[in-house]
Amino acid sequence: MNLLYEEGGDIKLATVQSSSGSGDAESWQATSLSGKKIKLKAKEVWLRFEKPAAQAVMDEAATLSKEIDLQLLWDCAPDDEFNLLDVSLEYFGAQASIPQQVALAIALQGAPVFFRRKGRGRFQRAPLEQLQAGLAALERKQKELAQQGAWQQELVAGTFPETLKSSAQQLLFSPDKNTSAYRALAAACTETGESPAQLMIRCGAIDSPLAYHQGTFLKAHFPNGAAHSQSSGVDQSAYDAAIAELPLAPVQAFSIDDAGTTEIDDALSVSNLPAGAHRIGIHIAAPGLAITKDDALDQVARNRMSTVYFPGDKITMLPDSVIQQFSLDAGAPRPALSIYVDVDAEGIVQPESLQMRAEMVPMAANLRLEDIEHLVSEVSLEDESASYPYRQELAVLWKAAQHLHTARQEKRVANGLRAEQLGFIDPNALARDFHFQVHEINGVTRVEIVPRQRGSILDTIVAEWMIFCNSASGQLLADHGLPGLFRTQKGWGPLRTRMQTTPGPHEGLGLDYYAWCTSPLRRYSDLVNQWQLITLAKHGVTAKMVAPFPPRDASLMGIAADFESCYQAYGEHQDRLEKYWCLRWINQDGDSKNVSVRHLKEGMSRLELVPLHLPVPELASHPRLTRAQVVLSDVDLLQLTAAVRVLEIEAKVESPEKPADDVVENLEADGKSD
């Protein structure tokens, strides 16, 4: 005997092997068509029959079920509940065959729009209104499936559907996976073996791998767009009120930056004192005079946390109008928070002379590294006949910078670190600074990557005096019990360098205190610290009572954590786009390129000419700095990879390079790592 039953929503047949009981209590041991041993009770069985054979019945019923007119079946069905046999008499007549009855069971079970399930083998036809609504929904579904299929075929063929072009960005970066558009894209990717980004680039929905990398970052960190609101800014009356009572500083200040710097947030000045002594001024742009905690601009800056730098462009923390108001551009006095310290005739800093004040600082010049760096040397600084801007001031700053550096190295050594050499540029060392220039030439985008070794006199002057400013600012905050965002480094491990709200040493720099303060136009940490310092400059010993962030302020701790996370993400994006442009540099003149690499560690190597790190397994067992000649090919700008084939492994290049952590901290220190 064969039994018809339902399991998991499907109609199935089984052949009885044995039975027990009788009537409603009867049960059977049976074997399903798949060979599975099952036990069925009388209440679970819809239909019993001896012949034909179960498999033959199921094969024929599967075909017949597709021919059943569901509308006619609905018309034939009684208004009340019915079972399979009842409706088979109405639809097929009294001579309904076993295959026909099984076909009806399959049709009834698979038509929830027409029939409601009321129990095992029992149904009731749906009310007319619900049937009409269900049929309309089915029609829409069929149209959606047809549209989905059409879109899928267009995508596979390399054409992006016209109706989806307006939602291409959303489809790639923040898709609704329940939509037909996404299902079509996913199905097309499955068919072609491509990722969504690869397929959409091939179809022209997004311009390039660069657009994908940028879009991924913007979706995560700037979901509402990177542009500033037109209404964001400091109106002129508020600006005038903020600077109205600031005294005019008796100095002529100048900045030192590269040609690409537009947010000029630090400058220096040198004033003569008796007996060959000098007063050094470090002047920091002061947007904190007009931006206050929790105001609209603070919300903008806090949401962004930092300016985002990457080759060819940047996303500024503050609106351009605010940067223009507070950037230390030459030609007029600019509001600044100044730290002054005296140095004697030998260039030794006199700590007791330290003072800080908010003031208007006359900006006399914006020096550019490209214009004067090659002119500045120890010889020319001592040569009275040498002619370049601010030679005498630079000579004073250089002499004092050397003493500052020496004092820091003594503390580094005391902390168990080796001393850094001042002004030594190893010709064999890998360059760590690179200037990316992206050009459009005759409609073709090309990238130029120019390496630059750090360690020049101008580098040292800027670095040491910015380090001093950050250290002195941290000291002032600590001495007056004011919390801030301190950059600390102590011990070893993943949390060796971190941001915290209480003072602490920075062992790598050889400092007791260190607080980022020199870049308030582009780092929120510096703006927060500037608010605290402005309060200190205005209120002195009572500053703790009126400071924007009192001691143990929980919100400041949150800012520290958010800044660390955001700053790291921005740095990773900068690294990703630098890698992209390095790979563009490789294949812009052909499909492959012969280059020299240096092994760093664990099979990871870096190109000598550009800051591109790639795995070279053949070098894994060789010493650090082993040089190899390789061929790079098969560049993938989406996955940011390239194939590497080693041509020749050369000897290790001896180079007294600094540990990576020290390099990173020095870049952080002078605020010029962008």
Residue 36, exposed/middle/buried by CB under 10 A (0-12, 13-18, 19+)? exposed
- Number of helices followed by number of strands (H, E) in the chain: 20, 24
- Cβ neighbours of 634 (radius 10 Å): 12
Measure Cα distances from 523 to 214, 281, 317 in Å.
21, 22, 7
Q: What is the CATH number of domain 587-659?
A: 2.40.50
- The secondary structure of residue 25, as a DSSP letter, is G
Percent of all residues in the chain with a pLDDT value above 70, rounded to a whole number: 95
The answer to whether 72 touches 148, Cβ cutoff 8 Å, is no
| Residue written as token pair 């990703």 | 576
pLDDT of 654 reads 63
User: What integer is the mean pLDDT of 283-292?
Assistant: 95
Q: Is 543 helix (H, G, I), strand (E, B) or coil?
A: helix
The answer to whether 319 touches 496, Cβ cutoff 8 Å, is no
Whether pLDDT at 358 is above 80: yes
Model confidence at 122, pLDDT cuts 50, 70, 90, reads confident
Delimit the domains of the chain by residue range: 2-126, 130-206, 236-569+665-670, 587-659
pLDDT of 421 reads 80
User: What integer is the mean pLDDT of 557-586?
Assistant: 93
Measure Cα distances from 443 to 201, 581, 603 in Å.
19, 17, 38
The mean-pLDDT minimum among 159-163, 257-261, 398-402, 509-513 falls in: 257-261
pLDDT of 83 reads 85
Measure CA 250 to chain center: 44
Measure CA 16 to chain center: 63
Whether pLDDT at 196 is above 50: yes
pLDDT in tens, 414-424: 888 888 887 65
Q: 475: Cβ–Cβ under 8 A, 6 or more apart, which residues?
A: 512, 513
pLDDT of 21 reads 84
d(CA 608, CA 674): 20
Model confidence at 442, pLDDT cuts 50, 70, 90, reads confident
Model confidence at 53, pLDDT cuts 50, 70, 90, reads very high
d(CA 405, CA 463): 10
Query: What does DSSP say about strands 253-257 and 349-368: parallel, antiparallel, or unpaired?
Result: parallel
Percent of all residues in the chain with a pLDDT value above 90, rounded to a whole number: 53
Which residues are bridge partners to 607 per DSSP? Answer: 597
pLDDT of 669 reads 41
SS (H, E, C) 284-336: EECHHHCCCCCCHHHHHHHHHCECEEECCEEECCCCHHHHHHHCCCCCCEEEE
pLDDT of 424 reads 59
Task: State the average pLDDT for the chain.
Answer: 88
pLDDT in tens, 210-235: 999 999 999 999 988 889 988 888 88
Q: Is 46 helix (H, G, I), strand (E, B) or coil?
A: strand
Whether pLDDT at 672 is above 60: no
pTM (global) more than 0.85: no
Whether pLDDT at 137 is above 50: yes
d(CA 550, CA 516): 18
Model confidence at 253, pLDDT cuts 50, 70, 90, reads very high
CA angle 94, 97, 98 (to 5 degrees): 125
User: What integer is the mean pLDDT of 441-458?
Assistant: 84
Q: Is 124 helix (H, G, I), strand (E, B) or coil?
A: strand
pLDDT of 425 reads 64
pLDDT of 497 reads 85
Which residues are bridge partners to 434 per DSSP? Answer: 451
Model confidence at 495, pLDDT cuts 50, 70, 90, reads low
Whether pLDDT at 674 is above 80: no
pLDDT of 668 reads 41
Whether pLDDT at 77 is above 50: yes
Whether pLDDT at 308 is above 90: yes
- The secondary structure of residue 511, as a DSSP letter, is B
Model confidence at 601, pLDDT cuts 50, 70, 90, reads confident
d(CA 365, CA 375): 17
pLDDT of 655 reads 55
Whether pLDDT at 37 is above 90: yes
Alpha-helical regions (H) of 174-281: 180-192, 196-202, 209-221, 236-243
pLDDT of 657 reads 45
Whether pLDDT at 656 is above 60: no
pLDDT of 451 reads 84
pLDDT of 673 reads 38
d(CA 529, CA 563): 13
| Residue written as token pair 């149209």 | 143
The mean-pLDDT minimum among 5-9, 80-84, 160-164, 663-667 falls in: 663-667
Alpha-helical regions (H) of 81-195: 84-92, 98-109, 128-157, 168-173, 180-192
